[in-house]
Chains A and B, each alone.
Chain A
Amino acid sequence: MTKKTKTELTDPSLYLNRELSWLEFNARVLEEAQDASVPLLERLKFACIVSSNLDEFFMVRVARLKRAVAEGRTERCPAGLTPRQQLQRVHARSHRLVRDQYKCVFDEILPGLAKRGIRLAHTPDLSPAQATHVERVFATELFPVLTPMAVEPDRRFPLLANLTLSFGVMLAPASPDGEPRFAVVPIPSGLPRLVQLPADEGLTYHSLEDIARTYLGRLFPGQEILSASLFRITRDSELEFDDEGAPDFLHAVEEELQTRRTNHPVRLEVEAAADDQLVKWLLGELKLRTETLYRLPGSLDVRDLLTLVELPGHEDLWDEPFEPVLPGALLDAESLFPVLREHDVLLHHPYESFEPVAQLVSEAAIDPDVLAIKLTLYRTSGESPIISALVRAAQAGKQVTAVVEVTARFDEERNVEWAKRLEEAGAHVIHGVHALKTHAKILLIVRREPDGIRRYLHLGTGNYNDRTARLYTDLGLLTVDEELGIDGSSFFNALTGYSDPPAFRKLTMAPTGLRERFIALIDREAQKAKDGQPVEILAKMNSLVDPQIIRALYRASQTGVPIWLNVRGICCLRPRVKGVSDTIRVVSLVDRYLEHSRMFYFRNGGDEELYLSSADWMGRNLDRRVELMFPIESPETRDKALTILRTFFAETEKGRWLRADGKYARKPRRAGDPTVRCQQHFREQAATAHSHAEYLTRTRFRPMRRNAAVEDGDETPALT
């Protein structure tokens, strides 16, 4: 085995391009849509996610590459590609991805839904009654709002909003020897895209554009339409890519980005049957290259098919519903304070409920002994019960500090309203830190107790958002650990500017030292491997991009440290390369819930350490955001976390392993091997633990004492 030296570890062949790796992730999401064992509406949902992911990817990442090319920049990515090369490959891969996606939606999912009585009807298939209905819809709803815009050769192309649909229309020349004329008809985005038609059985929908297309001639009286095709422009959003947004984000993006009409276009989507001359005209007007053109064999913007997903009923087309449960330790607790004084609690969402966190804030809001509540809010819904609790707390005279991260302008307005409400109630609202996004998730409650001040802390990998807590997998620690408490206070003092960033006892913060800490932890494993001590690294995250950390992992692998990585999305590390990353295995898990937790385990010669963090191994997290990493220390919580982490590497159903060639593949299953599907396993396990705890609670009688103090620690069960 020839060991590569430090400089050689920067060899481009050892890195995967992040944009292409991201596209592979989106391809894995598409695989879920293609999976016949997944219920139909879930499959449709995955297909829609592929689209919204791609939209965002084009607006942010592709736009960035395009800007780099336009500025003539040629610096290569760690994988050795210039912006121009990346752009070419990104488009090539996207074209394949979109082709597969459309095949899946229009050849498999929609026909499947039609068999179940949910139809998307095409114009020729309409019954006379339906055709009449369609005409009425056009006349009363569509016609008044459709505005054709003629585009003269010397005139400016209309400023069409980002991601909206329009018809491009080619009209016959005014004189026989003239050139064809062109016009554009934007489809108003305020109207529902799918219109329900009367039908004898089942549900039949017809698309707005098909209705418009049928009567398009009425918008151009006396003129001949040579051809018409729907098209959609994607523009540079000048935003940062972000997967934290939850469902909220997509809608928000739409609202805001539609208003951005002047940003440069990066992609043009047209219908497959669009006339070549029309398409050429559009590309010319938008100054786009042919590679940015996507001809789609089906409806543009399949995201609108989500209307079907949101239909009530049809439970059999969905995954089995699942209600998050309370972990046993909190089951019978009237108050969380005494429970948490006894032991730490680690919550695994969405299998375990996020409710205790909301409950803790609500309880704190009315507890007379609570002095202060502080937390970070990154993209929280305004209706969140946490916000109402904070308002109550502030009104009750408690010191409430909220570090609110308003990431993009579109979030601002919806945040302004509840931020104002908080401020009016007397809370101290801080809108982030200059030049950094506050991505750390931390809640701190300061309570005066008979033996002194006690700090209750929640540290998490996910946002304080009760909605995403049901869709994302995250972990959260509830603790009263003294040193973490001091660190928590220091953290807020640093964010509020009351103090300079401190020397932490147990927390590690980005951008001041988190990368260095990760590298030190990895290097320590490598050192201990050389000393012949037991070593192992297990890590789980959303993205692995940072070249410095990747190099540290290569170094560790070269000393023989077994490294298991669960990376849901982008992974720029190339595993299983001889002499470099032989011992590194990378698996990506895409299943019902979005994998979102970040966990880091180091065997450390037997003195094991396990950390959770809000940060990925990405420059974005390590340099440009305020992030936290915290240790899981109590034996019970650490065992629980480690068991969870190990399970991810036993996945047999939804795991795709990254190969040395950069492709992902499922593990070949041998007959008789047990099947492990993590998300299902965690769900069942949580439910079992819950009912067991419930049984224990039921069978243990608790005599009611008058004036039984809620604070009395003996009164509450300590089940683990």
Chain B
Amino acid sequence: MRTTRQRSSEWPKPVAVIDIGASALRAEIAEINEDGTIRQLESLRKGVLLGNDTFTRGELSLESVRAACEVLRGFKKVMDEYGVRDIRAVATSAVREAANSDTFLDRVFMTTGIEVEIIEGPEESRLSYAAIHEALNGRVPFDKGVALLVEVGGGSADVAILDDGEIVHSATLAMGAIRLRQTVAGISTDHAQRTELYKRFIHNAVANLQRDVSLREADHFIAQGGDMRLVARRLKKAVFHDTFHEIDRETFSEFCTQTSRLTRENLVAKYNVSYLEAETLVPALLAYSAFLKETPASSVIVPNASLRRGLLLEMASSQTGRSFEALDKHVLSSALSLAEKFSVDLAHGQHVANTATSLFDALKKEHGLGTRERLFLQVAALLHEVGMFVGMTAHHQHTYYVISAAQLFGLGREEIELVANVARYHRRSTPKREHAGYMRLDRAARVLVCKLAALLRVADALDRDHQQKARRLRFRITEDEFLILVDRNRDWTMERMTLEEKGDLFLACFGKRVALRGV
């Protein structure tokens, strides 16, 4: 009988992820096991050149929208076969930059029931990086020295620099393969001339990037992305190492030179690729090759990783409750390097971050938030004083716009905006309707800002004198009070006074008065 045969356990759980990119829609169906391991069941890919529309006309055409919905309906059918209920669907630059992205998302939802989330460049890199980390960790010594990570997508190229395994810089360049192709197609029809134009566009973008950061120290060159994986599979000289391919520097450069001479038809015939794949291959390869030229790396590492894999890893971590530590580390290190850049008192920043997370953990029941929000709080705490670099007066406001304008690895635009708000409210006024930055957030985000800022204000108050004396805190929670137990042998007058002033938001959010009690 059906009922008796149903398993008591929910594991393994069938899940699916969808990636709506500039040249194709891709999906992955997998099972997540209780121990967090992922078993791939199916990969789906269907070429739809959404990027062609967005990067030339600024919006998705009716036909493309219809085609994408049709593809997603097919994907959904396959997913239904496995009884998949958890679907995470994301869209990148082609949809993100389209003027009619909202109607697109609505059409998709109405025809397939799939809710698509638009993700920002940094979010994309964060997820990709999770997959790269999985593929390379312990296999390639990319956590020693400097590594350059490049992913050329359809609409944009994501670049990250790792120093001893930690991301110290990340950037998204508007230089995707389809965008390049569309731009150049409008200028010239001659093949050789187009190749020259590609090179010039790419050169400019890379040179711009080099103003911010040098690529010359990179010992490793890690190239990620569909075009690169295709090359790695087709190139006989690429050495396969189970989770990644390694291509010798000279082999790759030579291959790029040869390939860039071929017309689309020749590419199709020679490498047995589809016309759609051939469309983007040359601009993508030229971009990778331009980056490689700037580094002394002896080979190109092509990890068997993708945005979809990153999405799956994240789903696995949220489904099993295991944190996505590998990544959080990089978010924090990229926040730290920003803090350093703005000469923040790091000891204070880190102390406040620690205190804030202790408060966060102690109040789990009261705020009901998860690991992602905890990470926002940490970042906001680390960065809450960046504004001082601009000026002491109203430095919380400077903090807001500095963070707001920053690129932080692993955080999307909206997430950065959220963090900027939390950091802003570490002092002075609590959130108000008159604050434009605050009101730009949606209601749920505003509530979140209040809760996190409430904790940050308390944590900051506890290190009023930047002495980091509030350590090993214990708490007692009563009906109407949140008591922080501190060493009664020390003087807490300043902190008590500051708390009086800064505990207002806490009381408003959690309905409890914060107080210090010496024990």
Contact = CB atoms under 8 A, between A and B. Distances in A.
B45 A452 contact: no
Interface in B217-273: 233, 272
A548 B5 CA distance: 54
B41 interface: yes
Contacts of A452: 12, 31, 33, 39
A498 B75 contact: yes
A371 B78 contact: no
Given A486-B40, A500-B46, A399 B272 contact: no
A284 to B, nearest CB: 51
Contact of A499 (B41, B46, B233): B46
A399 B84 CA distance: 13
Contact of A498 (B33, B44, B276): B44
Nearest to B47: A500
Interface string B14-50: 1000000000100000010100000111111111000
A369 B46 CA distance: 29
Given A450-B7, A452-B33, A497 B74 contact: yes
A493 interface: yes
Interface string A492-519: 0100111110110000000011001000
B5 A399 contact: no
Most buried by B among A452, A486, A490, A498: A498
A145 interface: no
B31 A500 contact: no
B81 A372 contact: yes
A368 interface: yes
Contacts, number: 66
Most buried by B among A446, A451, A452, A497: A452
A690 B448 CA distance: 71
A250 interface: no
A503 B274 contact: no
Nearest to B70: A497
A448 interface: yes
B74 A500 contact: no
Contact of B78 (A369, A448, A453, A498): A498
Which size class do A's interface residues fall under?
20 to 34
B77 interface: yes
Contact of B42 (A428, A489, A500): A489
B490 interface: no
A451 to B, nearest CB: 7
B238 to A, nearest CB: 14
B31 A498 contact: no
B interface secondary structure, majority? mixed
A371 B45 contact: no
Contacts of A489: 41-42, 78
B8 to A, nearest CB: 10
A486 B12 contact: no
Interface string A218-247: 000000000000000000000000000000
Given A371-B81, A452-B33, A500 B45 contact: yes
Most buried by A among B5, B40, B276: B5
A503 B83 contact: no
B472 interface: no
B83 A371 contact: yes
A395 to B, nearest CB: 15
A500 B277 CA distance: 11
Contacts of A428: 77
Contacts of B83: 371, 448
A500 B274 contact: yes
Interface in B467-510: none
A417 B24 CA distance: 38
Interface string B42-61: 11111100000000000000
Most buried by A among B31, B71, B78: B78
Interface string A436-465: 000000000010101111000000000000
Contacts of B46: 498-500
A371 B82 contact: yes
A498 B74 contact: yes
B443 interface: no
B80 interface: yes
B315 to A, nearest CB: 16
Contacts of B365: none
B5 A503 contact: no
B232 to A, nearest CB: 11
A503 B43 CA distance: 10
A512 B272 contact: yes
Given A493-B44, A499-B46, A516 B272 contact: yes
Nearest to A369: B5
A453 B82 contact: yes
Contacts of B432: none
A486 B82 contact: no
A371 B80 CA distance: 9
Contacts of B274: 500
Contacts of A446: 81-82
Contacts of A450: 7
A34 B238 CA distance: 59
Nearest to B4: A368
Nearest to B76: A498
B2 interface: yes
A512 B272 CA distance: 8
Contacts of B77: 399, 428, 498
Interface in A361-375: 368-369, 371-372
B337 to A, nearest CB: 39
B453 to A, nearest CB: 44
Nearest to B26: A499
B31 A453 contact: yes
B457 to A, nearest CB: 48
Contacts of B14: 453
Contacts of B74: 493, 496-499
Contacts of A493: 42, 44, 74, 78
Contacts of B82: 371-372, 446, 453
B233 A503 contact: yes
A399 B77 CA distance: 9
11 contacts: A368-B5, A446-B82, A452-B12, A452-B31, A453-B14, A453-B39, A498-B78, A500-B24, A500-B47, A500-B274, A513-B272
Given A371-B83, A493-B78, A497-B74, 14 more contacts: A368-B5, A399-B81, A446-B82, A448-B83, A452-B31, A452-B39, A453-B82, A486-B43, A496-B74, A499-B45, A499-B46, A500-B24, A500-B46, A513-B272
Interface of A: 368-369, 371-372, 399, 428, 446, 448, 450-453, 486, 489-490, 493, 496-500, 502-503, 512-513, 516
4 nearest interchain CB pairs?
Answer: A498-B74, A499-B44, A372-B81, A399-B81
